[in-house]
Amino acid sequence: MSVLAKAGAWSLCAAVRAAIPCLWKGKYFSSGKEPGENNPVTPMLRHLMYKIKSTGPITVAEYMKEVLTNPAKGYYVYRDMLGEEGDFITSPEISQIFGELLGIWFVSEWMATGQTAAFQLVELGPGRGTLAGDILRVFSQLGSVLKNCDISIHLVEVSQKLSEIQALTLTEEKVPLERSAGSPVYMKGVTKSGIPVSWYRDLQDVPKGYSFYLAHEFFDVLPVHKFQHDETRDHVEVCPDAGVIIQELSQRIALTGGAALVADYGHDGTKTDTFRGFCGHKLHDVLIAPGTADLTADVDFSYLRRMAQGRVASLGPIKQQTFLKNMGIDVRLKVLLGKSTEPSLRQQLLEGYDMLMNPKKMGERFNFFALLPHQRLHGRNPQTNAHQSKPSPSPVAGFSELVWQ
């Protein structure tokens, strides 16, 4: 039986997710309020004014980096900005099905690549830990498949506040957390289901080894440089930090195996000015009250692909709607609806499905992109002789149509 076919056995988790606001972060407008209107002097604005007065002008990238992740005053560092009460909502916060299908993707890749004795699940920017929690529930439900596999969780997170929330979500503090503020591994714990979990500020510090990497709405918060020059587009946004991270992931995957799954809103090298802010589920001028709103720019997947080239193979970007359909979202929804009699829960499942899948909502704006070892796609290393090719490998789930076996 395929892993996907087992989906029917799962429980409906405590599925009371946030009511879904009408605006999500991926919706695109290039500007919000007019500058000058309601522009309070925030601690971040004061910090930036000092910085500019003492060392001169700063780039858009430096502005974005300071505003979002400055260790003392950064937007991400000390607050929970996700959900109904916060500034934006993300797919894992909308529906449990999203994380469950991603969990199946990792198990399916693990099965297709020889069922290694151990793997690390590494998530970049895990938010509230909801996505990792949903994936771990799938791993527990598929205990018979994964029973001899040694799994560990590694979270890359710069936010002190969000790391505390992640720890609470994943461990329920059943076993006390170990903290060590100065160390590259700044926190360690054990999840509800007994899996070791560690926190890092930087991907470089995560141990190398067979790993599955996950980045959901992570690349869009990395600082972009904006250029106006002699190109066909009047604005060009480039995110060097994304390039560095993709190169690191590619190197690791080429060396030790595994895969990376990136999901975000973005384009394939065609868009121009996408830098924007979000506050209280509304668009927000990026220069007003810095430090109080999220700043984001669409991910350029053509750039990510170029950064991976030569080391690993890439798949996508494909639309979220297509990826989730290929992963069996319709079947999963049916199973959950079949189990829930409560009208409000059924309503929430249907609204969540619509939000994730509707092309006018998140279905077409969000994309999935994967990095895989060359051998996974072609059955052989591109450097080896073409005559040595192995039998053709199984298709990668999500990126091709679902076939029931």
Q: Which one among 26, 86, 103, 125 touches ligand SAH, defined by CB under 6 A?
A: 125
Nearer to ligand SAH, 85 or 231 (CB): 85
Residues 70, 44 contacting (CB under 8 angstroms): yes
Rounded Cα distance between 315 and 136, Å, is 24
- Binding piece for ligand SAH, criterion CB under 6 A, among 68-76, 105-113, 268-276, 382-390: 68-76
Q: Is 66 a binder of ligand SAH (CB under 6 A)?
A: no
Please report whether residue 300 would count as binding ligand SAH according to CB under 6 A: no
Q: Is there binding between residue 76 and ligand SAH (CB under 6 A)?
A: yes
User: Is the CB of residue 367 less than 8 Å from the CB of residue 315?
Assistant: no
Q: Which of 157, 298 has the CB closer to ligand SAH?
A: 157
Assess 216 for contact with ligand SAH (CB under 6 A): yes
Total residues at interface with ligand SAH (CB under 6 A): 20
Question: Which residue of 66, 157, 264, 298 would you call a contact of ligand SAH, by CB under 6 A?
Answer: 157
CA–CA distance from 225 to each of 236, 242, 273 (Å)? 8, 11, 11
Which of 4, 24, 45, 69 is in the footprint of ligand SAH by CB under 6 A? 69
Cα angle 106, 107, 111 (rounded to 5 degrees) comes to 120
Phi, psi (degrees; rounded to nearest 5) at 25: -65, -30
Q: Which window, 11-19, 156-164, 314-322, 378-386, contacts ligand SAH (CB under 6 A)?
A: 156-164
Torsion angle defined by CA atoms of residues 182, 220, 31 and 294, in that order, rounded to the nearest 10 degrees = -30
156 belongs to the binding site for ligand SAH (CB under 6 A): yes
Which of 83, 127, 258, 373 binds ligand SAH (CB under 6 A)? It is 127
State which residue has the least CB distance to ligand SAH. Answer: 125
162 makes contact with ligand SAH (CB under 6 A): yes
Give the whole-angstrom CA distance, residue 95 versus residue 333.
Answer: 10
Nearest distance, CB of residue 85 and ligand SAH, angstroms: 14
- What is the CB neighbour count within 10 angstroms for residue 46? 13
Q: Minimum distance from CB of 226 to ligand SAH (Å)? A: 19
**Rounded CA gap, 332 and 87, in Å?**
29
Please state the closest distance from residue 379 (CB atom) to ligand SAH, in A. 33
Strand partners, 369: 262
Closest approach of ligand SAH to the CB of residue 28, in Å: 17
Q: Judge residue 240's burial from the number of C-beta atoms within 10 Å of its C-beta, 0-12 exposed, 13-18 middle, 19 or more buried.
A: middle
291-324 core/surface letters (b: 16 or more CB in 10 A; e: else): bbbbbbbbbbbebbbebbeebbbbbbbbbbbbbb
CA dist list (Å): 221 to 38, 69, 224, 263, 328: 24, 10, 9, 13, 29
- Binding residue for ligand SAH (CB under 6 A) from 86, 99, 126, 291? 126
- DSSP codes joined into one string, 291-330: TSSEEE--EEHHHHHHHHTTTSEEEEEEEHHHHHHHTTHH
- Quote the least distance from Cβ 113 to ligand SAH, whole Å: 25
How long a stretch of residues is the chain?
405
Residue 17 found at the interface with ligand SAH (CB under 6 A): no
Per CB under 6 A, the segment of 26-34, 36-44, 90-98, 224-232 that binds ligand SAH is 90-98
Q: Which of 26, 83, 86, 92 forms a contact with ligand SAH (CB under 6 A)?
A: 92
Q: Which is nearer to ligand SAH, 60 or 158 (CB)?
A: 158
State the nearest-atom distance from the C-beta of 343 to ligand SAH, in Å: 27
212 part of the interface to ligand SAH, by CB under 6 A: no
- d(CA 102, CA 4) in angstroms, rounded, equals 11
Closest by CA to 51, choosing from 37, 31, 36, 65, is: 65
Q: Which residues bind ligand SAH (CB under 6 A)?
A: 68-69, 76, 82, 90, 92-93, 125-127, 131, 156-159, 162, 216-218, 221
